[in-house]
Chains A and B, each alone.
Chain A
Amino acid sequence: MPDPTSLEETVEFSENPEPRCPCVLLLDTSGSMQGAPIAALNDGLRVFEETLARDSLASRRVEVAVVSFDSVVTVVQDFVTADRFAAPTLMAQGLTHMGEAIQTALDMVEQRKATYRANGVAYYRPWVFMITDGEPQGESPDAIETAGQRIHALDNDQRKGVAFFAVGVEGANMDRLRQLATRAPVKLLGLNFQEMFLWLSASMHAVSQSQVKDQVALPPPGWAGVT
């Protein structure tokens, strides 16, 4: 009769790198976000950090990057695993270079995938999660047009290059967002960033633990209104 604990003690596991689930937060920090909106967004980011950190598998698998956009596009945080993610405190000022910001986020996603492939790391479809309270401002119409075309080319059922989500805060031009992204944009109820980030971390949890064929059922958003 074999010792009941023998399998657990004797079977050794293959050392594969943890699969990764990349997520870019693309955050509008233009002047109109000043005051209550940017404060609520910063609080929401801290909720995101805390929720992911409590989730042992997600904190090793989810990789978070933060890009802010106003008159300049800034990579506030390049990809880090969620256990090393520290929520930044963002300031609001300037115009809304949304097109350039989208290109930056999509470039980062492509580069990250290349890095995963080069290192034999398995990965999940990347997410770009854009939050804005306005519309493109201060850049050429071409910039947003090209960015929108790139989203449409990447985020579809054939290519599946990325999943691009747009969230509009009060004042956002929802019609522009509808044209921009493949997926219907979602309007944030008030400044309920906390609920939104709780939903995002729950979704990241679901994605990062999904094995090949589970349908990733995301919790229904309690923070979104009908657009």
Chain B
Amino acid sequence: MTAVSESLIQYERLERLTHKGHSVFFCNGLLRQFLTFLDFQERSFFVSIFNFAQRGKEGGFIMTGRHLIEPRDFTVEELEKIFQLAEQILDAPERFLDACKGKLLATLFYEPSTRTRFSFEAAMLRLGGSIIGFDDPNASSTAKGESLSDTIRTVGAYADAIVMRHPREGSAKLASESSHIPVINAGDGGHQHPTQTLTDLLTIRQEKGRLNNLTIGVCGDLKFGRTIHSLIRAMDRYEGIKFVFVSPEELELPTYVKEEIEQAEYVETRDLEAVMGELDILYMSRVQRERFVSEEEYLRLKDTYILNPEKMELAKEDAMILHPLPRVNEISVEVDKDPRAKYFEQAHYGMIVRMALLMTVLGVKEND
């Protein structure tokens, strides 16, 4: 324990650490490279020791240079730091116009995305930074057969941070293992989408005024919905959370996600109307055509739940409707006028929280 914390204090020179007595890791200098070898519990443990050791030096938290692969890569306290910064940006965005001046963000999108990519690019540009990247892997070296690790190493030689979306699950973690600059996961297949979660959490925090004591309904495609998996992982760490999972049988939440719920209560149902009145938040999701092997199966399931004004009448007066967007027809357009519909505000919060995240991992401050 002592040896570990001493090594971590001198992490710049960290070269070898034995792990559980029989594995040896080579870290070549940076804490974040070491952290990629650990599971989230171990990571939280080392990060907490490290933050403790560094307290007072950087206001108690070391977040510069860290990867964000899944929501639990940051502790609740660290997320709160990001949200506080986001709040400052919301209040006075002009103070941050040059915060990332001279910094370069690489956006590697191996899978189509408009929203997330635009959100990141807008965030970086609004901070005065620059962008390189691609949104069509056929136009990159991948088409020539280059491995993901090689691409990441090469891009790491040019940019200060990487944002990556990739159709394969676990790709962001693999990328982070070859990267000496921060890697931010912008979606890895049906697995995780942590910046959407930061968006969701900031929206809830700003609109509800709290992140605890909430009943959260999650409805639609819970099987392939990576935003949902990430949201559940993140919200499980706050007190007094109850989840209501609403889905057809074929699109139920995967067992591994349910097994990971440690603190929150949860119930599963097929009947959205029956639970509408209980919910503080209803998180709707799209049934994603691209995740289905069978078109027939997709067509059969896509319209299972449609949120319309009639269902909204059953909701609490202060309920909040969220959706990661894009929507197809799971929320009828009439609901948009309802003040409880917050999904377009959510998109704005998404850019703001990405600004705060980029500033945090790049270690930059507001304009001088």
Query: Do the two chains belong together in a single complex?
Result: no
Q: Which residues of B contact A (CB under 8 A)?
A: none
